[in-house]
Amino acid sequence: MHELAALLAAENERLLLHIHDLAEDGRPENALHLASSRALYPSGPRVHYAFLNRRDRDCFLDAGLSESRAHLLPNPVDARSQASVEASAAPILLYPVRGIRRKNLGEFLLLAALAPHGTRGAVTRAPRNPEARSIHDGWQRFARECGIDVGFDVVGRVEPVAHAGSGFESWCDHATHFVSTSVSEGFGMVFPESIACGKPLLGRKLPHLDADHAAHGIRFPGLYDRLLVPAGWVDPAILGYCLHDAAGRLWSAWRREAPAAGVIHARLERGGMLDFGNLPEVLQQRVIRKALEPGMKSRPMVGHGGNTEPAAAWLVENLARRAPAATPGHLTPHAPAVYQKSLIRIYQGIQREAAVGTGVLDSGKILDSCLTPGRFHFLTSPAPARRPPPDFHSFRAIIFDIYGTLLTAPSGGVRPDAAADPALREIISRFGHHPPDSPSSELHAAVMRHHAESAVPCPEIDLRGTWREVLSLPPETDTTALVIETEAAWHPARLMPGAALTVQSLAAAGIPLGLLSNAQCNTLPSLAGLTKSFADDLLILSYQHGVAKPSPVLFQLLAARLAARGIMPDETLYIGNDPLHDIDPAVSCGFQTALFTGDPDSLRAGACFPDYEIRAWPA
């Protein structure tokens, strides 16, 4: 389209180019499409530009655009009927957007995690772009696994309250607050929409939009400048790696040399705190998990107007405020009728322009104004690239996780499960024991008790002993067969497609293979004949050692056993499906890693930095 605009301008056609989203402003994926353009931004009396905000307009003025041909033309907003919500209703935080990366979904989840008990959140739509959808779906899995009450892609699928309907209007009516945590907006429709719907707005302030709103007398008291978390919650090595990678790929996309990472890093940390919104997803997820630990919810802070206060307390205060920031009358400058008059006035002005020579604006200056260390943001930089598949034969040893990697099985583990209890009671009775009314609940309580009494981090139980305790059996009773049968009924496992062929071919090639997994005595029988492909000294199962992943103890033990074979961790590939329990501890112990993503139901939430990605086992 930019080539067409340049051609029309050269022919002295009358043009109004309405710039909504600058490619230079955090859209590096468009750089390649624009690289060959010699007249990206044509200039001339008959070429006028319209902008959504003053910041973008000023950028073009600095690049040589005449003020008479630079128009501020914000999007029209139509006030709608406003539905009131009872003051006593539990808060519903609505983020009325498509959940693309720059909308900063991690920050929305952190706010929901810090909010008072009973608060619900919802993101209205999922992205259509497959790459953006995968990031959105990753946050959805993460929220579910962390127990954060936020719904995703709710419109048309989920009702805000019973019998209310699941349409967009229903969600707007029943929300108590609108939220925006976006890190970059051209116009920011959520801001005026909150006024149009009569809802208070919470979230992140964007300075350039705040100035435009203030010009119309609109203030949003529920916005903060920064959402701060302790720098000690962030691994500096990971932050440094992410910064070097993201900045390098951002500047190189525009064929520019990236500034020193230290220049950008100095802007990220202030007084031992980091702004959560400008962290990469991998670190946002770690911070959220940290904030969910006992006693940690008081640590994140909001900064606004030069002051800071605990984010949890700030949320309590602002969620109690149900009045909108402004009235629909404040939206008069954005009314469709006003927009129509402005557009007609601009068109009439272009009609009067004489046909004289055309030129081009200095696109380099436009890029310079956007591509600065001060405007760097992880979420408007290129997303981390997908990793290549490994060359298995380049490693001296390969170690596998089991569940979610070689085996697929129902998630949930040991938990109260009324649906499973009848089958468990029948199996226990068949073994000649007296079953409790709810075997699953009794087993779960025993596991929790042992975990609470353990003196080691990441403790693991042996189900054989736990069942003896639940069934009041003598210590010498062998419950191995009982565990195998109850687990086969409760958590039936099957091999991942292609896994057996892969393992057998690698074993036939003479590569030492092993297993390191959270497992019980039934796990190896679940692998059937595949077990003989693994070396006995490289079988490390959590129940045998009383400790579970992500403890580094198991990986340190693996490193010692490999050393006895003369093999180093960096010569070994560890493969797993869980970023936080497989990849991170393996990386910390020096292993090369591959994340298995071939089964969406087994892939665990979390961002990580594996060396490789395995999207399917070769068939």
In this structure, what are the phi and psi dihedrals at residue 504, rounded to the nearest 5 degrees? Answer: -65, -40
pLDDT in tens, 559-609: 999 999 999 999 999 999 999 899 999 999 999 999 998 887 777 777 788
Determine the Cα–Cα distance for residues 444 and 441; give it in Å rounded to an integer. 5
Q: Domain for residue 597, yes or no? A: yes
Which residues span the domain enclosing 30?
2-76+335-380
Determine the Cα–Cα distance for residues 527 and 485; give it in Å rounded to an integer. 14
Overall average pLDDT of the 396-420 stretch: 90
Q: What is the pLDDT of residue 238?
A: 82
Judgement on whether residues 306 and 179 belong to the same structural domain of the protein: yes
Q: Domain for residue 386, yes or no? A: no
Judgement on whether residues 399 and 548 belong to the same structural domain of the protein: yes
Q: Domain for residue 433, yes or no? A: yes
Judgement on whether residues 314 and 363 belong to the same structural domain of the protein: no
Q: Considering its fold, how many domains does the chain have in total?
A: 4
Q: Domain for residue 416, yes or no? A: no
Sequence-ordered list of residues with C-beta below 8 angstroms from that of 56, at least 6 positions apart, any chain:
19, 22, 25, 186
Q: What is the pLDDT of residue 92?
A: 97
Q: Domain for residue 82, yes or no? A: no
Q: What is the pLDDT of residue 609?
A: 84
- The runs of H, that is alpha helices, within 334-438 are 336-351, 363-370, 421-430
Judgement on whether residues 193 and 266 belong to the same structural domain of the protein: yes
Which of 438, 473, 490 is at the close of a domain? Answer: 490
Element spanning 68, H or E: none
DSSP 3-state of 541? strand
Q: 391-404 in b/e burial notation, b at 16+ Cβ within 10 A? A: ebeebebbbbbbbb
Whether the model clears a pTM of 0.75, i.e. scores above it, the answer is yes
Q: DSSP strand E in 272-395: where?
A: 273-275, 301-304, 307-310, 359-360
Determine the Cα–Cα distance for residues 302 and 283; give it in Å rounded to an integer. 18
* Band (410; pLDDT cuts 50, 70, 90): confident
- Indicate which CATH number applies to the domain containing 540: 3.40.50.1000
Which of 461, 490, 519 is at the close of a domain? Answer: 490
Judgement on whether residues 510 and 475 belong to the same structural domain of the protein: no
DSSP 3-state of 604? coil
Has residue 363 got a pLDDT over 80?
yes
Judgement on whether residues 178 and 266 belong to the same structural domain of the protein: yes
Q: Within a 10 A sphere around the Cβ of 432, how many other Cβ atoms?
A: 7
Concatenated DSSP letters for 230-248?
A: EGGGS-HHHHHHHHHHHHH
Let me know: does 61 contact 70? Beta carbons within 8 Å: yes
Judgement on whether residues 557 and 430 belong to the same structural domain of the protein: no
In this structure, what are the phi and psi dihedrals at residue 515, rounded to the nearest 5 degrees? Answer: -130, 135
Judgement on whether residues 209 and 248 belong to the same structural domain of the protein: yes
CA atoms within 13 A on the CB side of 140: 20
Which of 490, 524, 549 is at the close of a domain? Answer: 490
- Indicate which CATH number applies to the domain containing 291: 3.40.50
Q: Domain for residue 81, yes or no? A: no
Q: What is the pLDDT of residue 303?
A: 95
Judgement on whether residues 111 and 212 belong to the same structural domain of the protein: yes
Has residue 207 got a pLDDT over 80?
yes
Concatenated DSSP letters for 329-340?
A: GGGGGG-HHHHH
Judgement on whether residues 257 and 243 belong to the same structural domain of the protein: yes
pLDDT in tens, 48-86: 999 999 999 999 999 999 999 999 999 999 877 676 777
Q: Domain for residue 619, yes or no? A: no
Judgement on whether residues 111 and 70 belong to the same structural domain of the protein: no
Q: Domain for residue 572, yes or no? A: yes
Judgement on whether residues 451 and 504 belong to the same structural domain of the protein: no
Alpha-carbon distance values, 299 to 93, 227, 235, 275 (Å)? 22, 11, 17, 13
Q: What is the pLDDT of residue 412?
A: 63
